[in-house]
Structure 1
């Protein structure tokens, strides 16, 4: 549980860093903004599933030009995940959750695997965002876990 909580702290930190890099770049790249929005919405979708809520109202791939709205979504996600973790015990990580994906297909997945999906999915897409920033000659965000760990080991 300690490792997952620490990795979630990394996720909040990395989301903030990638947003700052996008803001600094002043990019107007619609696909890049769509990708960062996708990360924020996916985090929210998985949290809703963990909370036993439906997710049909969420669209994973919409265009946006408003980084402030995305920032707000990331901040709300972090707050809600922290609340979720306050009540989460190690003993329930292997509990199975029933949910439907965005196409309505039913699935059953453990809480542990859902949390790992959230963590790995975001890092995958932050790598894509950083690559796109480099192509645009903008400064990418350092989001490696080891950087986070070094900054927080004091």
Structure 2
């Protein structure tokens, strides 16, 4: 299970980095794109902090950040997810996490369920960013998992 999640989070990191390179090289400052990508990374940080039982996040969920801030958030998120997976004491991630959502409602999910959610959520919003890039006639990066597999 560790190897599987290591691979998936490396893919997530690779895909996010490809989008960031496109935004930087194209000098993209579109509000919708910046808000969506900010949200994607804020969410990744919120979830890792919930797992670690830390204050949720210094980054509001739907705040729009500048590219240099987004890059910093991306690095923080990648570092924290890598650390969690590499240093997790078990091969599985079935421990239950008790947390409150952003509205204060209490929930519980396993680390595994949260990790799958984070990966799915990130792919969803990357897809929205890529769709918006196309609307702006900007060639988006290819972020398909199979392309990542071919390149590693």
TM-score (norm 1): 0.92
Instruction: Check conservation: 2:9, 2:119, Cα contact below 8 A.
Output: yes
In structure 2, what is the Cα distance between the partners aligned to 1:57 and 1:125?
20
In the other structure, the counterpart of 1:96 is 96
In structure 2, what is the Cα distance between the partners aligned to 1:43 and 1:108?
17
In structure 2, what is the Cα distance between the partners aligned to 1:124 and 1:113?
16
TM superposition outliers: structure 1 runs of 4+ over 3 Å: none
1:44 maps to 2:48? no
In the other structure, the counterpart of 2:81 is 81
Aligned residue for 1:99, secondary structure, equals strand
In the other structure, the counterpart of 1:131 is 131
In structure 1, what is the Cα distance between the partners aligned to 2:63 and 2:105?
21
C-alpha deviation, 1:28, in angstroms: 2.4
Instruction: Check conservation: 1:99, 1:107, Cα contact below 8 A.
Output: yes
C-alpha deviation, 1:24, in angstroms: 2.2
Structure 2: runs of 5+ lacking an equivalent: none
C-alpha deviation, 1:11, in angstroms: 0.6
Call closer, same or farther: CA 1:141–1:80 in 2, change over 3 Å.
same
In the other structure, the counterpart of 1:71 is 71
Instruction: Check conservation: 1:25, 1:139, Cα contact below 8 A.
Output: no
C-alpha deviation, 1:57, in angstroms: 4.4
In structure 2, what is the Cα distance between the partners aligned to 1:136 and 1:112?
36
C-alpha deviation, 1:56, in angstroms: 6.2
Instruction: Check conservation: 2:6, 2:82, Cα contact below 8 A.
Output: no
Instruction: Check conservation: 1:43, 1:118, Cα contact below 8 A.
Output: yes
TM-score (norm 2): 0.93
In structure 2, what is the Cα distance between the partners aligned to 1:31 and 1:125?
11
Call closer, same or farther: CA 1:75–1:28 in 2, change over 3 Å.
same
Aligned residue for 2:103, secondary structure, equals coil
Number of aligned residue pairs: give it. 150
- Superposition CA RMSD, Å: 1.2
